[in-house]
Amino acid sequence: MGLILGIDLCDSFSQISVYSPEKKAPEPLLLGGAESNGLISTTLCKVRGQDSWLIGTEAYQRALMGEGTMVDKLVKLLMRDTSATIEGVQYSAVQLMAAFITQLIRLPKIIYKEEEIDGIAFGLRQLDPDLLDRLTEACDLCGLDRKKVRFLSHTECFAYYVASQPKDLWPNTAAAFDLTEAGLDYFEMQVIRGRRPQILQAAREPLDEAFDLDLLETPMGERMADTILSACADRKLQKKLVSSVFLTGEGFISVDFAKEFLKKVCNKRKVFSGQHLFADGAALIAYDGTLPESAFPYLCICEGRLASTISLYALQDGKNEQLILASAGSNWYESKASAEFILDDVHTLELMVTPFATQRVETISLSLDELPARPNKTTRIQLIVSFSSESRVTVRVIDKGFGEIFPASGIVIRKDFLIS
């Protein structure tokens, strides 16, 4: 069996977890030395005069010694689609990210002595359609099979990780604080019972109280950080049945500075501190994706997943059938539906939007008046439904004509909607 990898890809540090089929659990990739905690600096260095790239601490050190040119903040570069000129050659953000990913996945290949990758999932702080498109291009340049690559939100990685733990750790709500250079994020996950399958609902909230991690370099700064985090704990955890709290991110490599904060989060709760939470969650999802059918017993509703089912009714074999175009719990970036219909006295398409937790049905109406006037049952259309986030859907209707009698007009009707 090939490698199954979960990668937490962030601007400051990245982490890798490798799923172990024998242990049925992910293992963090620990490199030793400056990166013994598994945090790999998301830094790239081109060795001077060579077609050779380095990453992590080695990249930083070689650049510091004047032996190469360093580029960092690679996720931000990819988001902005900017480039960098190194030794007179311009490299796009996609090329730089591809170079980083190539060197990153080389590490587990060497350690585990395995070249094949059966599944790889990237955890990202937030999902943006342009970022995901460029990250897909970068993975293509790395030679990764698109069918084996997935992109996930930190929220989803958190939910899968917690749900893989013994249930006595999260009989009620589970929470997490993620403290990094990018900010301070708070996560919550709870199970909505009484449905089949049961629903995991998770959410991320960026907190305004975020602070620069340089604050932790002085005793006075540590006390200030402890005060800030304590206020966050009071605000987010008070009067809630939170069973367990997870502390992660490079800001929590050591929690010795946060004595008052720990008193508050440990009050009648189980607390865990450590890295690789998101990478472990991504590895679990990557492994689940290699199975013929998902073994995950929950429907996950969170950032990156659709909260509603989109469908419409159409005649098929003389019966009025409901056609599901996108299902609640699906990954929005991977969800795209296409179907063809022959119009039978239809001038408006009515798509139904059904939120997962209610019986309420909303309707998306799309007028077909722009299509050429033709006799009934002589217009064939292609309906395409795609997404640019879990709440933004694009519906397109393409006129396909009706053979040689009524050639396709090329008309495309498009409408963008917000869904719950």
138 and 80, same structural domain?
yes
How many domains are there within the chain?
3
> 25 and 34 in contact (C-beta within 8 Å)?
no
What is the CATH number for 362? 2.60.34.10
Sign of CA dihedral 103, 26, 294, 118: positive
Is 147 contained in some domain?
A: yes
Does 265 lie in the same domain as 163? yes
- pLDDT for 35 equals 63
User: Are 34 and 136 in the same domain?
Assistant: yes
Domain boundary among 128, 151, 174: 151
User: Could you tell me if 342 and 258 lie in one domain?
Assistant: no
Counting Cβ atoms within 10 Å, is residue 389 exposed (0-12), middle (13-18) or buried (19+)?
A: middle
Instruction: Kindly state the DSSP code that residue 29 receives in the 8-state scheme.
Output: -
Last residue of a domain, one of 151, 166, 192: 151
CA distance 241 to 21: 34
What pLDDT does 348 receive? 95
Separation between Cα atoms, residue 8 and residue 17, nearest integer Å:
9
- Collect all residues with Cβ–Cβ distance below 8 Å to 386 and sequence separation of at least 6: 335, 336, 337, 393, 394, 396
d(CA 68, CA 268): 52
Same-domain pairing of 194 and 222 = yes
d(CA 173, CA 238): 12
Q: Which helix (H) or strand (E) holds 36?
A: none
Do 136 and 266 fall within a single domain? no
Name the amino acid, one letter, at 119: G
Measured CA to CA, the distance from residue 394 to residue 391 in angstroms comes to 10
Q: What is the DSSP letter of 211?
A: -
Dihedral, CA of residue 223, residue 224, residue 226 and residue 229, to nearest 10: 180
Residue 298 counted as domain residue: no
Helix (H, G, I), strand (E, B) or coil at 278: helix
The answer to whether residue 390 is domain-embedded is yes
273 lies in the same domain as 222: yes
Residues 167 and 394: their CA atoms lie apart, in Å, by 39
- Is 290 within the bounds of a domain? no
- Other C-beta atoms within 10 Å of 226: how many? 19
DSSP at 125: S
Whether residue 348 is contained in a domain is answered as: yes
Judge if 192 and 252 occupy the same domain. yes
pTM, to two decimals: 0.93
Residues 65 and 170 both lie in one domain: no
Low-confidence ranges of the chain (pLDDT < 50): none
Strand 117-124 and strand 3-9: the pairing is parallel
Distance separating alpha carbons of residues 225 and 56, to the nearest angstrom: 27
Q: Same domain for 144 and 161? A: no
Question: Which residue, of 151, 182, 208, is where some domain finishes?
Answer: 151
Dist CA 339 CA 32 (whole Å):
52
**Residues 268 and 334 occupy one common structural domain:** no
Q: Give the position of tokens 């199954």.
A: 4
Specify the amino acid at residue 69.
T
Q: What Cα–Cα distance (Å) separates residue 387 from each residue in 110, 129, 132, 216, 325? A: 38, 9, 12, 41, 12
Domain assignment of residue 302, yes or no = no
CB burial class (10 A; 0-12, 13-18, 19+) of residue 50?
exposed
The answer to whether residue 289 sits within a structural domain is no
* Residue 318, pLDDT score: 83
User: Do residues 130 and 79 touch, judged by C-beta distance below 8 A?
Assistant: yes
Angle 38-39-41 (CA atoms, 0-180°, nearest 5)?
Answer: 140
**Within-domain flag for 284:** no
Q: What is the CATH number of the domain that holds 241?
A: 3.30.420.40
Structure tokens at 262: 């720990």
Specify whether 120 is located in the same domain as 20. yes
Range of the domain at 341: 308-418
